[in-house]
Amino acid sequence: MWFNQRIAEILEQDVPIDEDEAPRLPVFALAPDTKTAWMTFHDTITTDNMSRIATLFQLFEHGVGGATGLKAFEGASRIAAWHLHKARCF
């Protein structure tokens, strides 16, 4: 129930529109400790999807703004690593 409520809150937020009528999406930076962990993880697997997952975790837990934290990164990296492992099994 809490999950559904949080998703509804996020979806109800207005999206800023720029002068070209395109959505102005928020940019999430990496916190310094997260960047270090990202660099280490990058050396082992592709990080594009992991970064997207971490940003979604950060947005879900804290909303728009701020830097993507280490907790979000660590959870996302575990998910990405699991999927990579499963893909290698095939």
Region 77-85: mean pLDDT is 90
Transcribe 32-76 into DSSP letters.
HHHHHHHHHHHTTS--HHHHHHHHHHHHHHH-SSSEE-HHHHHHH
User: What is the pLDDT at residue 84?
Assistant: 85
20-42 pLDDT tens trace? 999 998 889 999 999 999 888 88
What share of the chain in percent tops pLDDT 70?
100
How do the domains of the chain map onto residue ranges? 26-89
Average pLDDT, the chain: 91
Q: What's the full length of the chain, in residues?
A: 90
Residue of 80 and 46 predicted with greater confidence? 80
